[in-house]
Every structure is written in C-alpha cells, then in structure tokens.
Structure 1
Amino acid sequence: MTLEQLRYFQAAARLQHMGKAALQENISQPSLSIAIKKLETEFGVPLFKPNGRGVELTSQGKAFLPYADSILLQAQQAKKQMNACADSFNGEIRVAYTASMAYGYIPRLFKNFLSQAGKAYVIYSDEMPSDDIAAGLKSGRFDLGICSKIKPEPELVQIPLLYQPLVVLLPDTKAFAQCSLDRLEDLCAYPFVSYRKDYPMYRQISALFQREGLTPAITHFAYSEDAIARLVEQELGISIVAQTESLSQYRVRTIRPNWLKEGRHIYLTFHRLRVQGEGVKKMKDFLKIFTEQFPTP
C-alpha cells in the first residue's frame, strides 16, 4: 500500500468514476485502475463495483475509505510540518559572538552577508563569553560561534579568522602621560583592570605575568574591552587588552611595548558532526572572504 494508491482510491471513491479520477490525478485510466487493483489484491477484497458508466464503493471499500482519508490527511500535515522545518533549518542562522566583535565586525558581517546572499535569511544572534559560546555550540543552541581560543573540545572545530595584537591600555590624561612601562613588571606598580576570571583572555594575560613570576594589582574585573576601556578612561587603572576597533571611541591611549609580543586570535567555531542548513553553510563560506576585507585594528 502506497500513498499514491491511496490517493487514486480516494479520487475514484469521491468521483465514482475511474476516468474522471484519472484525469484529476493526471495519469492514464489504465494506470489508475491497475493501482487500485493492486490494493484489492493486497487486501483480498473488492473495493469498487460497476455502477452504470461509473463505479461505486463496495461495503469493503466504504469501510476502508475513512482510513485512506485519515492516512492521506496525516501525510499532508506531515509534509506541511516538514516543509516548515526545512524552511527553518535552511533559512535560519544562529550565531554567537564575543563582545569584542559586536562594535564593527558583526554588524558589517550581517549586512554584507545578507546583501550578497540572494535570499532573506533570518539571523538569531547572541553576545556572550567564549566559554559560553562553546557550551551553546555543543548543546545545539548555536550553529556558529565567533570567539577566542577555547579549551580543546573534540567535537568543536576552530578556524582562525582575525588576529588582534595585545596592547597596554592607559588613561589619556596628563597623570599617565609620563608612565614608564619599559618592562612588564612596571605594570605591577599601578592598579590593574582585568578581564573576568572565566574568560580565555584572563587566562592568557595571567599566563603572561606568571611566566615572569609577577602578580598584577587587580582592582577591577570587567567583561569586555569596552567595559575595561570605560574604567581605564576614568583613571581607575591600566590594563592589557586585545586591540579592537571600538577602543578608538574612548579617552584612552594604547601602546605596544617591545616586551608585549602576544595577541589574540578570533576563531570561527562550529560543531564537527552537526548537520548544517543552507544558510549556515553559506555564512561559513562567506566569513573567510569577509574577514580578509575587514580592517585590522
């Protein structure tokens, strides 16, 4: 029993004529009759009997019609539901990114992607720390992540997108104009504004001090370069941050001493095994082209 056979049976039952049913279903009358005959053979009972030039249901056919109607209705509803699922799967993109990418990179990415995609994709975006992005990718909450280096996860892939050099961040005021930072240990003489402890950047900068046996005088913890810059411009301390485009809007000064060689990579991150829809695949391909055109801070 196939859906095609059920559809032919239903048409013949409603129209009470094999020829009219065949015309409605856009097949030849012999083909429709053969399909119904196969049903009768499978069930071992006649479903139709002659009635003048047409046909009518037998008692067995009348008993079967409600089941055929129900199966075809459920099949139609299932198809409608799966079409909606396909629209969502292929037409929606769920992206998570860190606060450092929110100022210029992400808005331009979305604008350029949508203008060149040739289709009106729906993008759901979230801003959060890199470790939370990794958790969201593992759980299936997100399709793509744009974030810092995370702890190794066998199911997650990270592909480098951008490189941001580390810089020392100082208040752009007279009090700090003559600030001498020829060595890393010179930073320990000032209050230090740090990334939050659960951020990859905190781990990276802490390792920088630990290699020299130093401990900065941390007085504030903040969640992003922008949050740190707002504290630094109020002369609440100095910091080491990744150089981002947004720093230019604050009253701060950035320097890169000779001892500061490190930087931060920003990665495209995604689940290794999860099947991706059309929109997600297109954005992945677009990201490399877009990033090559994005200005380095």
Structure 2
Amino acid sequence: MTLAQLNYFVKVAENGHLTQTAKELLIAQPSLTQAIRKLEEELGFLLFEKKGRALFLTKEGKEFLPYAKEVVEASKKAEQTKKHIYQRYTGNIRFAYTRPMPPNYIPNLLREFFKTNKKINIESYSAATAVILNDLKEDKIDFGFCSGGKEDPEIQMIPLMEYPIKLVVNQKDPLCENKQLYPSDLMREPGISYTEGSAMDREIQRFFKEQGITPDIHYRTSSEEIQNFVVCGLGWAFIAQNGTPMMSGLKIIEMSEMRLKRVTYLAMRKDRELSKNAQKFLNFVLSYNEKFL
C-alpha cells in the first residue's frame, strides 16, 4: 500500500469518476485503474462498484475512506513542514499582502530593506485576508500584511497603519444633492460592497447594524474594481482612503456618523521560530513604519 495509491483512492472517491480524476492527476486512466485494483487486492476487499459510468463506494470503501484521507492529509502537512524548515534553513522570506495597500508601500518597504540586506531572497504575492491567514497557519508564508480577521489564538496581529473609510459616489448620483447626508439616505439608492465575509464587508455590515439600516447592496466586487463600479453609476460604496488616487468622476461625501477605519496588520504565527533573516525583516518592518509613515 503506497501513499500514491491512497491519494488516487481519495481523489476517485471525491470525483466518482475515473476519467475526470485521471485528468486532474495528469496520469493515464489505465494506470489509475490499475493502481486502484492493486490497492483493492492488497486490502482484500473492493472499494468501488460501478453503476453506468459513475463509481460508488462500497460499504467497505466508505469505512476505509476516512483513514485514507487522514494519511493523505498527514503527508501534505509533512510536505508543508519540510518546506517551512527549508525556508528557515536557507533564510528565504515569503509574505503575502492584501489589496488595496497604500500606494507603493510594499515596493518602498523592500527597496529600503534591500539597501542593507542585499543577499536575502524574498517572495511575495497578493491575496485576500482569509487566504493570508490560512496560508500562515499552513506555513506557506512567514508574514502577512492584511486586515483583521477572526481572532485566532495561533496568529499574532501587529497594527501597522490605519486610514479612514469614506462614502464615495458618482458625481451625478442624486445623493450629491443632499446638503447633509444621513445613513438612512443610503436606503434610497443601490450600493456596492466587497466580497461577502471579507474584512471590509464585515466592517461595513457592522456600521449598517449600528445604524439600524439594511441598504440594497446590488453588487459585490473586489477592492481593485470597486471604484470602476461607482464611476459607471452602479451605486455608492465605502472605500478606504489609503492614499490611492481617486478615479475621475467620483466624489467623497462626508457623513458625521461615519467613523469607520481600515487597519493593516502584520500577521505572523505565534508558535513558529523565525529564521535570522525573517527576524531581521520583522524588526525592519516595525522600524520602517515608525520612520517613514
């Protein structure tokens, strides 16, 4: 019984189809069929029964599946741990960051860091806060520049910067005609928000709940696209004022009740020992924020 056989079994059980699974695993279907049959021979019982073109788990297959999944998941975690240990050994640094960040924050940060740390290799990518926190827990990255997520005892969140969230509308929006705007006025026009469950969406929903209103959110999109949606006249939106230039045709409307803020944190695992280079990066980020922001 090999790890590959168990992995094939789990994949086929999830898909219920040999052809589809073979395509996903990038192997020939006859090779996949042979691997499953060999596993069944070693186990002494059938794992699947065929009905038409679909495969269904036998009673014994259903009983064996949880144990196979446990082995496959343990193998994945071992591989992730190996990568993390290798990164610590080599001194490479990996981090992820959310969008939008303040303009050029990451490039400027790295430029200053490399002035005195030229031999350190860094990899980075952008992702949603939920993805970043999950990648931290799976040891895919050392740090995350992100918004606040749900409190997690495994993750340390260090506040780096904060900036206000403002109501933004198209300059032709009827809301611009109001001399004084109140939260209840948002009920008259459609609104645009962020991906459901995202940090910004949770902050905005909290504001709606405090004000006792339920606006009509017609559209949801990413932080990179939300200004485009407002410019096209699809509705108003709450946008973090982090220094990113506003697009032409937009107007910020002040509302006394609006005291929302977006906070960017440096996230890291509490139970992971940092490499010397990662510790240098951490110290630099904290000092950089005090000096340049």
Give the shorter-chain TM-score range: 0.5 to 0.7
Deviates more, 1:168-177 or 1:101-110: 168-177
Quote the residue 1:131 is aligned against.
130
Q: CA deviation at 1:262?
A: 2.0
CA distance in 1, matches of 2:179, 2:132: 38
Q: CA deviation at 1:87?
A: 7.6
Is the contact between residue 227 and residue 247 of structure 2 (CA under 8 Å) also seen in structure 1?
A: no
Please, which of 251, 263, 266 is the counterpart of residue 264 of structure 2? 266
Q: CA deviation at 1:198?
A: 2.6
Amino acid in the other structure paired with 1:170: V
Q: TM-score, normalised by structure 1?
A: 0.65
CA distance in 1, matches of 2:242, 2:199: 16
Q: CA deviation at 1:279?
A: 2.2
Q: CA deviation at 1:219?
A: 1.2
Closer, same or farther: CA 180–294 of 1 in aligned 2, 3 Å: farther
Q: Does residue 159 of the first structure (1) align with residue 158 of the second (2)?
A: yes
CA distance in 2, matches of 1:109, 1:187: 38
Quote the residue 1:228 is aligned against.
226
Quote the residue 1:94 is aligned against.
94
Q: CA RMSD in A?
A: 2.3
Matches within 5 A, 1:5-154: 89-101=89-101, 103-117=103-117, 119-154=118-153
CA distance in 2, matches of 1:256, 1:106: 30
Is the contact between residue 160 and residue 264 of structure 2 (CA under 8 Å) also seen in structure 1?
A: yes
Total equivalences in the alignment:
210
CA distance in 1, matches of 2:292, 2:153: 30
Q: CA deviation at 1:243?
A: 1.3
Is the contact between residue 157 and residue 272 of structure 1 (CA under 8 Å) also seen in structure 2?
A: yes
Q: CA deviation at 1:177?
A: 4.0
CA distance in 1, matches of 2:171, 2:113: 37
Quote the residue 1:214 is aligned against.
213
Structure 1: 5+ residue runs without aligned partners? 1-84
CA distance in 1, matches of 2:283, 2:267: 13
Q: CA deviation at 1:216?
A: 1.3
Closer, same or farther: CA 248–291 of 1 in aligned 2, 3 Å: farther
SS in 2 for 1:100: coil
Q: Which has the larger radius of gyration?
A: 1
Q: CA deviation at 1:103?
A: 3.8
Closer, same or farther: CA 269–168 of 1 in aligned 2, 3 Å: same
Quote the residue 2:250 is aligned against.
252
Q: Does residue 205 of the first structure (1) align with residue 197 of the second (2)?
A: no
CA distance in 2, matches of 1:98, 1:104: 13
SS in 1 for 2:177: coil
CA distance in 1, matches of 2:185, 2:173: 18
Quote the residue 1:42 is aligned against.
none
SS in 1 for 2:158: strand
The C-alpha deviation readout for 1:231-285, integer Å capped at 9, x for no partner, is 1111111111221222435542223321111211110100001121122111111
CA distance in 1, matches of 2:240, 2:221: 13
Structure 2: 5+ residue runs without aligned partners? 1-84
Q: CA deviation at 1:116?
A: 3.2
Closer, same or farther: CA 283–253 of 1 in aligned 2, 3 Å: farther
Please, which of 278, 282, 285 is the counterpart of residue 284 of structure 1? 282
Amino acid in the other structure paired with 1:164: Y
Amino acid in the other structure paired with 2:96: A
CA distance in 1, matches of 2:252, 2:112: 30
Sequence identity, in percent?
28
SS in 2 for 1:101: coil
The C-alpha deviation readout for 1:49-106, integer Å capped at 9, x for no partner, is xxxxxxxxxxxxxxxxxxxxxxxxxxxxxxxxxxxx7786353111111011174211
Q: CA deviation at 1:191?
A: 1.3
Is the contact between residue 94 and residue 142 of structure 2 (CA under 8 Å) also seen in structure 1?
A: yes
SS in 2 for 1:259: coil
Closer, same or farther: CA 101–172 of 1 in aligned 2, 3 Å: same
Deviates more, 1:88-97 or 1:202-211: 88-97
Is the contact between residue 157 and residue 265 of structure 2 (CA under 8 Å) also seen in structure 1?
A: yes
CA distance in 2, matches of 1:173, 1:294: 38
